Amino acid sequence: MERIPILRMGNYLLVTIQVDMHDKLALTLQDDLTNRISEVNAKGVLIDISSLEIVDSFIGRTLANIASMARVLDAETVVVGMQPAVAITLVELGMSLPGIRTALNVESGMEYLRETVAAHEGSDDAIGDSREV
């Protein structure tokens, strides 16, 4: 069965969606990603959609689901590279994907993830400290 490959870079997972996904493939990606996040204890997920020429409501909801599930597993998600025509169409469709962080490209996406993960680690340490009384 075809799957979308998930790359690992240290604490982060990278997914590049290049094919016109049918619904089953999208759901498989959702499953695979959540499993992988858990397996490697990933802190951040970057989804590159710069090759996607169509994002409809199903794909939109899938991305939102992935972000929510990742958050529950303590990982940040960022979606990068949305094409202008896609953004315009999504807005017209009425989807603004409020729960999803976005960035212009892989570079800025990774920058965001590193900053956010570092910030979390900082606050986690603080909690740890205050418990060691």
Least distance (Å) from other proteins to the CB of residue 34?
15
Considering the complex, state which of residue 4 and residue 97 has its C-beta at the smaller distance from other proteins: 97
Least distance (Å) from other proteins to the CB of residue 28?
11
Dist CA 113 CA 118 (whole Å):
8
49 within 8 A of 82, measured Cβ to Cβ: yes
Considering the complex, state which of residue 5 and residue 99 has its C-beta at the smaller distance from other proteins: 99
Q: Would you state the structure tokens that stand for residue 9, as one six-digit string?
A: 């870079």
Considering the complex, state which of residue 10 and residue 84 has its C-beta at the smaller distance from other proteins: 84
Considering the complex, state which of residue 7 and residue 93 has its C-beta at the smaller distance from other proteins: 93
Least distance (Å) from other proteins to the CB of residue 129?
28
Neighbouring CB atoms inside 10 A of 33's CB total: 24
Amino acid at 105: N
Least distance (Å) from other proteins to the CB of residue 84?
4
Residues in contact with other proteins by CB under 8 A are: 20-24, 53-58, 60-61, 64-65, 68, 80-100, 102-105, 108-109
Closest CA to 43 of 107, 115, 97: 115
Sheet holding 76-80, edge to edge: 6-9, 12-16, 44-48, 76-80, 101-103
